[in-house]
Amino acid sequence: MKGIEMISIKSPREIEAMRRAGRLTAQARTLAGSMVRPGVTTHEIDQAVRRFIESHGGKPSFLGYAGYPGSACISVNEVVIHGIPGPRKLEEGDIVSVDVGALIGGFHGDCAATYPCGEISEEAKRLIQVTQQSFWEGIKNARFGCRVSDISHAVQQYVESNGYTVVRDFVGHGVGAKLHEPPEVPNFGPAGHGARLLPGMTIAVEPMVCAGDWRVKVLDDQWTTVSLDGSLTAHYENTILITEDGPEILTVTEDGAYV
Percent of the chain with pLDDT over 70: 98
Backbone angles phi, psi at 243, to 5 degrees: -125, 175
Helix residue ranges per DSSP H, the chain = 2-5, 12-34, 42-55, 122-139, 148-161
Q: What letter would DSSP give residue 169? A: S
Q: Collapse the DSSP code of 66 into the 3-class scheme (helix H, G, I; strand E, B; otherwise coil) and give the result.
A: helix
**Mean pLDDT taken over the chain:** 96
* pTM passes above 0.85: yes
Q: What letter would DSSP give residue 237? A: B
Q: What is the mean pLDDT of residues 178-194?
A: 97
Q: How far is CA 259 from the centre of its chain?
A: 11
Write the burial class of residue 225 (CB in 10 Å: 0-12 exposed, 13-18 middle, 19+ buried): buried
Output the CA torsion 40→237→99→20 (10° steps): 110
Which amino acid is it at 6? M
* Contact present, 250 and 33 (Cβ < 8 Å): no
Distance CA 206, CA 138 (A): 10
Q: What digits encode the pLDDT tens for the residues 55-64?
A: 999 999 999 9
Q: What digits encode the pLDDT tens for the residues 55-109?
A: 999 999 999 999 999 999 999 999 999 999 999 999 999 999 999 999 999 999 9
Domains of the chain: 2-249 (3.90.230.10)
| The pLDDT of residue 114 | 98
Q: pLDDT-based confidence at 111, cuts 50/70/90? A: very high
Write the burial class of residue 245 (CB in 10 Å: 0-12 exposed, 13-18 middle, 19+ buried): exposed
**What residues contact residue 160 under an 8 Å CB cut-off, 6+ apart?**
166
